[in-house]
Chain A
Amino acid sequence: MRPLERIEGREKVTGRARYAVEYPVEGVAYAAAVQATVGRGEIVAVGTAAALALPGVLAVLSCENAPEVNAVDDGELALFQSRRVSYRGQFVAAVVAETLETAREAARLVRVDYVSEPPDVRLHPGHPGIYKPDRVNPVFPADTERGDPEGAFAASAVRVDATYTTPAEHNNPMEPHATLAVWDGDGGLTLYDSNQGPSLVRDTAAEIFGLGPDRVRIVSPHVGGGFGSKGTPRPNLVLAAMAARAAGRPVKFAQTRQQMYSATGYRTPTIQRVRLGADADGRLTAIVHEALEQSSTVREFAEQTTTPTRVMYQAPHRRTAHRLARLDVPTPSWMRAPGETPGMFALESAMDELAVAAGIDPIELRIRNEPDAAPESGLAFSSRNLVTCLRQGADRFGWAGRDPAPAARREGRKLIGMGVASATYPAYRLPNRATARAEVDGTFTVRIAAVDIGTGARTALTLIAAEALKAEPERVTVELGDSDLPRASVAGGSGGTAGWGTAVVRACEALLPMLEEDRRPVEASADTTAEIEAQEELARHAFGAQFAEVEVDVDTGEIRVPRMLGVFAVGRVINAVTARSQFIGGMTMGLGMALMEESVMDEEFGDYLTRDLAQYHLPACADVRDIDAFWVDEHDPHLNPMGSKGIGEIGIVGAAAAVANAVHHATGLRIRDLPITPARMLTAL
């Protein structure tokens, strides 16, 4: 396919693209949230007199007067349904007012009295509440074991036994989690909402408010990023809808940047122990990967941190395990390749340590441990081109000239090093529906309740439909971002394009023969449920190789990354323009994870102290220097009609390990705790 620029790009850069709370509606009111100021306790009383006395205040909602709503799986959505405070910053009340300023000032005046006790917020290996979850996100077993991993590890010629930690991290999309709620005269509900799955959000909202799904509509044509945090509805949706009903008016509610560090999910901190045992040639005999993570008391979310280890390398003896502690913290959730991202930081750092210990080039070590089939499931890979990625990347990056000795290259006061890591991400595909319609004027309209969260989904689906219809993309309009459109899966798990695209192709294929009758308009539809249920059982995964070059200032511990290179095997790339952006964006997130991103828990008060973009450091433009991404030719007939694997997340996977491995190569220092800040470097130097 020829590359296509982002279709809505002009609308976005000129400010005409409307986001959730930007829709103009008559008689709108504004809501503001009151957050718990204790980390664990019960609400004794909610004093609303001062807030209600403020001119322009329409209503105050709390556990003392909020309407009962239905409970759903996610307890974070049971807004104002209980006096229990599960973590500091939890929404405990809301104010509705004529203006946003009034609502926020009134929220400050709401007085909530609590009985409280000190919150338990520190994740550590000695926590008494550590347990094994039944499964990890979404449906993987918590533990797996084959052979005698402990015995094999103990008997190995070369061993690595190391503990790695990753901090809590927040998704930080540009657009906050925001909702405009409008109840119509008949009790129907329209929600202009910032989310990653209008169909799923519609179903959840309908369940919460006891409505038929046909009475709820979710409108989300443009979404300013989500990175997983908008994969499920957030409290802002319930708050806006509840407030709109209480005020009898449409209500807008956008979480503030500060609130986003309490009420939108985040990546759990992890403490990971990895043990690798190998023979003298570097062939792995044992792999043990154990992860400790946190969840809240509200709901169990168990990140699948060690699951990539189940598919990466061969070894006859192996074990993976997940353990959780339930703390008085907000519920963690999906963030930028949950599981793979923290898990591959640990595994790929350990592989680098093994390469050093065995005296083998880290790329060669990985090639020697390539499995013939998925190492744990035994399934055949639909395609696996990790080795090609590693080799092509090595050529492009100039790996051959690298002196394997650490701390060997010095320029002035800077030490320079190069690191490599592998990447992997599953190729998911979920059932979807779509319609394709031939219009009278010769154009086509494709409809699906997909959503473009900045990924380029609208553009990719246009290309997919155009190819299936044998038409120019300019003649195809894709309508998405609305739950009234045919039901679609969530924009998550890097499975959007694969799942949505399959339905779009099938709808277009069904339309083509109908065109021969020359009767327009004419519409065809597709439902891919049966097709996907019938698909052959195979190990479907994307792979990649990440390379990084770092400069470490020996006086200040500052680390800068002049070059990053990613080479990916992701099936067929649908749109080279937006795909490249996704890879580079993911790698930039990996750079942030390696060097700066960290949400700091305040152990006295029990909330995350980093609460804005001045404190939570994402890479700035000046940090992003020469980052490039390439992909190999990969033809995989076992995926979907497009032959594509998802590309939304693999760009971040392994990137932090490549940087950390480069830091070791530059300095000889192995930093196993992210992020690698000047403070950590100076302490180690």
Chain B
Amino acid sequence: MRPFAYERAGTAEEALAKHDDDALYLGGGTNLVDLMRLGVATPARLVDVAHLPCDRIERGADGGLVIGAAVRNSDLAADPAARRSHPLLVEAVLTGASGQIRNQATVGGNLLQRTRCSYFQDITKPCNKREPGSGCPAREGEHHNHAIFGHSAACVATHPSDMAVALAALDASVRVRGRGGGERAVPLGELYRRPGEDPSRDTALEPGDLITAVEVPPLGLPSRYRKVRERASFAFALVSVAVALDVEGGAAGGGTVRDCRIALGGVAHLPWRAHRAEAVLRGAPATAESFLRAAEAELEAAEPLRDNRYKVPLATNLIARTLTELTER
């Protein structure tokens, strides 16, 4: 590990002032400290933002949530208001990592964690995300748990967060404070980017940008998060799905789909909002056949790699099955 300076910020202003181009913000450290040990992240300075006052969960008058970026994942999952109003989000958080890691990890840090691609994590091998221009061995090498959507010649990595998948389905946005001063809202759909030719950038954030909170609009719909993984806990998703469904006359009635939200995890460089599937489903009858057709419409656009073709039937089945289960309960 390279020597680095550590400073703890008491306020967002202080954090912004202490940050420079060689600095990184430190939340719970559950990913960043590992990356520093591996030599993947080499900041000259860590600005600890885990103790900022943005550590509360507030319920808005409209039933939405404002979740401080320094809130621990465990605290979010245990929050009575969040559990009542946004069970989808809580389910997603609880499928992530382990109890110990959730105790340590912050909401802001969870959103900004890096891919777990083996090549990214090994500094003795090429990786365009870690070292732009060095190449992507995963494309021809080990990629059984890599992207099937939106990847590029430069990068086939996936985003590892479960929480972000639920937030994508919930149309959440993040509050960001930048070096220029002032606060802006960035919708989740604009926060993450496809790898394109520059996979070194995971998000649209500028250097020094600090996420202070996540705003989650209200959701009064039946919803569910379902994650498929190689063991029963403590594993990243092969594919996960966050769904919510608004059916005329109630989800159980077999009526017409008024609205739906479908987001996938484990399939792309970002939480993948399944817009194609949603478009097919809106106005369609809420039946298993519609759900399957919608899922197939989404997966038609998939570009699987040699060893992750299984994700196509997996994601198809998972979307259809999870929507069906929503109408059955």
Contact = CB atoms under 8 A, between A and B. Distances in A.
A107 to B, nearest CB: 10
B231 interface: yes
Interface string A106-126: 001000000000000000000
A37 interface: yes
A413 B328 CA distance: 13
Contacts of B321: 413, 555-556
A331 B314 CA distance: 37
Contacts of A556: 228, 314, 317-318, 321
Contact of A604 (B122, B140, B317): B140
B8 interface: no
Nearest to A36: B124
Given A615-B116, A683-B310, A108 B39 contact: yes
Interface stretch (B72-80, B217-225, B234-242, B256-264): B234-242
B61 interface: no
Interface string A546-580: 00000000011110100000000000000000000
Interface residues of B, number: 37
Given A555-B321, A600-B142, A615-B116, A105 B231 contact: no
Interface in B197-239: 228-236, 238
A161 interface: no
Contacts of A683: 309-310
B83 interface: no
Contacts of A555: 317-318, 320-321
Contacts of B232: 560, 620, 622-623
Contact of A105 (B2, B313, B314): B2
Contacts of B310: 557, 678-679, 682-683
B298 to A, nearest CB: 16
B18 interface: no
Interface string B301-315: 000000111100110
Nearest to A100: B1
Contact of A609 (B142, B231, B317): B142
A602 interface: yes
Contacts of A530: none
Contacts of B309: 683
Nearest to A618: B231
A614 B120 CA distance: 14
8 contacts: A105-B1, A555-B317, A595-B230, A602-B137, A611-B121, A617-B230, A620-B233, A679-B310
A623 B125 CA distance: 33
Given A556-B228, A678-B314, A105 B142 contact: no
A69 interface: no
Nearest to B239: A556
Contacts of B238: 678-679
How many chain A residues sit at the interface, stated as a range, is: 35 or more
A596 B38 CA distance: 25
A677 interface: yes
A555 B325 CA distance: 13
Nearest to B312: A682
A104 interface: yes
B44 to A, nearest CB: 13
Contacts of A134: none
B193 to A, nearest CB: 24
Contacts of A399: none
Contacts of B124: 35, 37
A557 B229 CA distance: 10
B231 A595 contact: yes
A678 B98 CA distance: 21
A643 interface: no
A619 interface: yes
B144 interface: yes
A611 B34 CA distance: 13
A610 B313 contact: no
A534 interface: no
Contacts of B134: none
Nearest to B232: A622
A621 B318 contact: no
**Could you say which of B141, B144, B231 has the most chain A C-beta atoms within 10 Å of its C-beta?**
B231
A605 interface: yes
Contacts of A281: none
A101 interface: yes
A603 B306 CA distance: 15
A617 B314 contact: no
Nearest to A555: B317
A602 B231 contact: no
